[in-house]
Amino acid sequence: MATLALGADFTLIGRASLYGLMAGGRPGLDRASEILATQAARTLQLLGVDNIEDLNADHVKLLH
């Protein structure tokens, strides 16, 4: 989400998908996708944003 808020056009979720696939085949991949979708929806709700297009750099806190 942070990369999208900072201006990226897309982000990859390959590692999570591969872990799900390795752990449980197609059902594992489907479950990993469900988890990512749920987490994304929750994050948007917590930020008070209706959709990903509304994210911007103000939603990101950079730690130094």
The domain segmentation of the chain, as residue ranges, is 2-59
Its pTM stands at: 0.79
Angle value at C-alpha 21, between 18 and 26, nearest 5 degrees: 145
| Amino acid occupying residue 61 | K
Average pLDDT over residues 17-30: 95
Share of the chain above pLDDT 70, in %: 100
Residue 18 has pLDDT above 80, yes or no: yes
Average pLDDT, the chain: 92
| d(C-alpha 64, C-alpha 62), whole Å | 6
**What is the reported pLDDT for 32?**
96
Q: What is the pLDDT of residue 43?
A: 93
Could you tell me the CA-to-CA distances from 49 to 1, 40, 42 in Å, in that order?
12, 11, 10
